[in-house]
């Protein structure tokens, strides 16, 4: 420091010399501050690295063009942009063989059956980081250390007023402790001036983790009591935080209502990930009670809410498990509750295309409702109506039109007499789905009218989820009616609504049919963007029907640029995706027509006739008459032994498909 001050005294004033000095924020004492304040000096505070900059740093350290995105995301999150932490976690990944060299000496992630995120999270904390944290906290007075531990218990960010309620110290001691911790760059004031935050979560996490169990429970108990006091004083206290402190304090009975309320709040905000965490924590807290009952309406409701959130997120297997756990503890006389949970479970099974299982569950739900007088309340009647209309979805996938008609006829009298708006919306959607199957997706004005009536009734019911789906259904109907501009408008609005609500499954459905709409409208760039997003999302959600639709759109784009091999490959992948389903996917023309156009003169005629025969199946959507007639003639000529005529009719079908916007 003396040397630097001497340089700054003027001895370099006429020299072309730049002196660059670096210091950690916590080491910026009085001498350094005086030096940086001199006229000749320029002080610059380095900001944390962005996610992109972390990626560049990792690629540079490993001498590779680009690091694995999942690994960069992990390092960025763990380091919070601290370059030293990035480097140390990177070294630890090498030491633990999460990063290994391949045969060419290039760094890559180790092969494993575990996802990259799981591999990364298994890395231990580098000792060098532990030493940095210990050095930062070295020399704290006992009073400041105790206050710091209470702050660590409060969380990464904490309110000074709450800390003053929690810590058994004078205000002067607490303010002095905060000044010391700020000086050491352990904590920093938050922007609004209401509290402080730890500058890095490791500075909170490590001392907190070192607490003895009894001391940790005591600290959480003090925090929970302080937060209850603040709540009683009218302050806004997040129920999830309060519930978590009661849980960590070993008071599950006091934790459950707060955690459940936090889940409800998150659901209202469509923060589904957060809702799942809060409901799951509430369930864990409930199971920690001294003697949870074998039958519990409260626990069953918690598990049902958790399953609802999981289902909307598209985590269908987890939702199924949660519904099963909810049903296991429903009180014996709660027939309506059991029927409702069974209906919801059946819906999950239907989305998973386990149709026989879904119908069996719906039968169990109807058995529960048969024990009750449906005429005694509107709630009971509405549950019965929703159960019947849920069955129609299964019949739709299985193309059982007669069962759809019978169910609609059974429900219609109640719709006309006593139905709520939401029941009416569901009923009109059921009628529309029946029309799809009965008329093989040839859309009449009556079907369009019923789809619009469903949308109006859902809006009247003020049910956002159902309204979003009704809007999708109306857009879907417009698509197959050939009203492509209007279809795109409705599907875009439905997509925005489902995204806002966090309904992942419905959003993927919107994406898939937007891709098909843009394909039919020959909006090439839009079709590609939607198809690529659908493919990524549908693959992750294991929704094979929409994986196939996305691949068929990409295959069609390859056909448009005359890449016949790629068009045929992607179309065949689409057809294979649909073949794996437990039901006949109705829009296989999206892949089959492209495949036919790409291969008709390149493969044996028999293969093309097989595709034409598939497209004529009564279980699939009917194509426009010129295409349908030419395909039928091709199949007929082939089986009569007239191969040249068969090929001529196939080429006529392809030309008709191009003219009508199907290719």
Nearest to 552 by CA among 272, 560, 175: 560
Residue 47 has a pLDDT of 85
Residue 472 has a pLDDT of 96
**Average pLDDT for residues 547-565, to the nearest whole number?**
96
Q: How far is CA 298 from the centre of its chain?
A: 27
Q: Where in the chain is the domain with CATH 1.25.40.10?
A: 289-453, 503-659
Q: Which CATH number fits domain 130-237: 3.40.50.620, 1.10.10.10, 3.40.50.970, 1.20.1050.10?
A: 1.10.10.10
User: Model confidence at 480, in pLDDT bands (50, 70, 90)?
Assistant: very high
Is the CATH number of domain 289-453 1.25.40.10? yes
**Average pLDDT for residues 57-77, to the nearest whole number?**
85
Q: Average the pLDDT over each of 50-54, 106-110, 125-129 and give the range with the smallest value.
A: 125-129
User: Model confidence at 108, in pLDDT bands (50, 70, 90)?
Assistant: confident
Q: Which residue has the higher pLDDT, 608 or 139?
A: 608
**Cβ–Cβ under 8 Å, residues 548 and 579:** no
**Cβ–Cβ under 8 Å, residues 634 and 615:** no
The structure's pTM equals 0.73
The Cα–Cα gap between 634 and 644 comes to 9
pLDDT exceeds 80 at position 115: no
Ordered DSSP codes for 251-318: -HHHHHHHHHHHHHHHHHTT-HHHHHHHHHHHHHHHHTSSS--SS-HHHHHHHHHHHHHHHHHT-HHH
Q: Average the pLDDT over each of 1-10, 259-268, 303-312 and give the range with the smallest value.
A: 1-10
pLDDT tens digits for range 30-65: 778 888 887 778 888 888 899 899 999 988 988 888
**Average pLDDT for residues 320-334, to the nearest whole number?**
95
pLDDT tens digits for range 619-652: 899 999 999 999 999 999 999 999 999 999 999 9
3-class DSSP assignment, residue 526: helix
Spatial neighbors of 220 by CB under 8 A, at least 6 apart, are: 153, 245, 246, 248, 249
Residue 541 has a pLDDT of 85
Q: Which CATH number fits domain 503-659: 1.20.1260.10, 3.40.50.1000, 1.10.150.650, 1.25.40.10?
A: 1.25.40.10
Q: Where in the chain is the domain with CATH 1.10.10.10?
A: 130-237
């Amino acid at each position: 420091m003396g040397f630097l001050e001497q340089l700054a005294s003027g001895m370099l004033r006429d020299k072309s010399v730049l002196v660059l000095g670096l210091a950690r924020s916590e080491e910026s004492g009085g001498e350094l501050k005086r030096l940086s304040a001199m006229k000749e000096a320029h002080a610059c505070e380095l900001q944390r690295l962005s996610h992109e900059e972390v990626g560049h740093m990792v690629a540079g350290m490993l001498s590779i063009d680009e690091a694995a995105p999942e690994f960069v995301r992990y390092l960025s999150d763990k380091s919070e942009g601290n370059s030293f932490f990035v480097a140390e976690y990177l070294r630890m990944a090498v030491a633990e063989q999460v990063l290994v060299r391949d045969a060419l000496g290039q760094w890559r992630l180790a092969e494993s059956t575990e996802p990259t995120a799981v591999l990364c999270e298994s890395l231990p904390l580098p000792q060098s980081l532990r030493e940095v944290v210990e050095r930062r906290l070295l020399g704290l007075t006992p009073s400041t250390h105790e206050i710091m531990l209470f702050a660590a218990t409060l969380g990464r960010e904490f309110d000074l007023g709450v800390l003053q309620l929690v810590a058994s110290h004078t205000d002067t001691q607490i303010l002095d402790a905060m000044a010391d911790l700020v000086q050491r760059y352990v904590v920093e004031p938050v922007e609004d001036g209401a509290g402080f935050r730890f500058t890095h979560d490791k500075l909170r996490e490590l001392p907190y983790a070192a607490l003895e169990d009894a001391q940790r429970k005591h600290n959480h108990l003090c925090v929970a009591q302080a937060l209850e006091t603040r709540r009683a004083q009218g302050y806004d206290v997040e129920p999830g935080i309060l519930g978590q402190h009661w849980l960590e304090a070993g008071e599950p009975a006091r934790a459950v209502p707060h955690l459940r309320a936090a889940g409800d709040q998150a659901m209202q905000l469509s923060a589904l990930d957060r809702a799942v965490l809060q409901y799951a924590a509430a369930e864990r807290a409930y199971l920690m009670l001294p003697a949870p009952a074998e039958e519990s309406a409260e626990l069953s409701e918690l598990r049902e809410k958790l399953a609802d959130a999981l289902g909307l997120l598209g985590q269908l297997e987890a939702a199924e498990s949660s519904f099963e756990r909810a049903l296991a503890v429903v009180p014996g006389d709660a027939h309506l509750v059991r029927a409702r949970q069974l209906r919801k479970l059946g819906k999950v099974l239907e989305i998973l295309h386990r149709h026989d299982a879904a119908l069996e569950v719906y039968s169990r739900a109807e058995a529960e409702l048969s024990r009750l007088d449906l005429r005694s309340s509107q709630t009971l009647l509405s549950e019965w109506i929703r159960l019947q209309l849920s069955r129609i979805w299964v019949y739709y996938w299985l193309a059982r039109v007669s069962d759809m008609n019978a169910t609609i006829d059974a429900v219609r009298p109640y719709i006309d007499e006593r139905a709520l708006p939401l029941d009416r919306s569901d009923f009109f959607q059921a009628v529309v789905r029946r029309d799809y199957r009965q008329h093989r997706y040839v859309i009449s004005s009556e079907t369009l009218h019923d789809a619009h009536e469903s949308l109006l009734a859902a809006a009247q019911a003020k049910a956002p989820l159902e309204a979003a789906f009704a809007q999708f259904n109306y857009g879907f109907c417009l698509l197959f009616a050939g009203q492509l501009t209007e279809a795109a408008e409705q599907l875009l609005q439905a997509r925005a609504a489902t995204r806002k609500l966090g309904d992942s499954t419905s959003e993927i459905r919107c994406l898939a049919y937007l891709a098909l709409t843009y394909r039919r409208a020959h909006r090439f760039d839009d079709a590609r963007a939607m198809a690529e997003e659908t493919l990524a999302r549908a693959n992750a959600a294991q929704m094979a029907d929409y994986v196939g639709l996305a691949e068929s759109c990409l295959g069609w784009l390859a056909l448009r640029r005359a890449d016949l091999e790629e068009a045929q490959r992607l179309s065949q992948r689409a057809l294979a995706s649909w073949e794996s389903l437990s039901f006949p996917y109705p829009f296989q023309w999206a892949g089959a027509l492209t495949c036919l156009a790409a291969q008709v003169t390149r493969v044996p005629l028999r293969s093309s006739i097989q595709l034409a025969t598939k497209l004529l199946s009564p279980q699939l959507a009917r194509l426009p008459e010129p295409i349908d007639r030419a395909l039928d003639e091709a199949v007929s000529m082939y089986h009569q032994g007239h191969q040249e005529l068969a090929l001529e009719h196939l080429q006529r079908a392809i030309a008709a498909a191009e003219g009508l916007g199907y290719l």
